[in-house]
Amino acid sequence: MVFTAILSPANEVPPIGNAESSGRGAVQITVIGSSADVYFQLSGFPGDTRVQGAHIHPAPAGVNGPVIVGTPLTAAAPLPLQNGIVEYHIAGLPVDAVTLAGLTNNAAAYYFNVHSPLNPGGFARGQLTRIQ
């Protein structure tokens, strides 16, 4: 299964209104068996932006939810943007059976977002859509 989302600061809850409000991005999540490969790209953000989290959360648009699938990006191991741009790929993230069933049955009830020191709750978000 393949899921995508367009990532936007306007989709965060609440919407981002600070220096990180100008960017955009996209994510593609490929689920094979009980693992996920995540690829995202971001552009148009301030050059000093650092991704300190990138996750899948269960919640519809306009609602925040807990992390259910995370990446190894943390405040201690962030991903810096170069000139406001970055691409990131990680393979083999574990996905439990409940999350897998939820994504299969209603992908739009889940979102992906990225977090930064300036916006620890997230600075770009998108609801997932199943494309394959």
Domain count, the chain: 1
Rounded CA separation 50/116 (Å):
6
The answer to whether 71 and 112 are in contact (CB under 8 A) is no
Identity at 10, one-letter amino acid code: A
**Range of 112's domain?**
2-130
Q: Please state, as a whole number, how many other Cβ atoms lie within 10 Å of the Cβ of residue 124.
A: 33
pTM (two decimals):
0.97
Taking only the tens place, the pLDDT of each residue in 53-98 is 999 999 999 999 999 999 999 999 999 999 999 999 999 999 999 9
Taking only the tens place, the pLDDT of each residue in 7-62 is 999 999 999 999 999 999 999 999 999 999 999 999 999 999 999 999 999 999 99
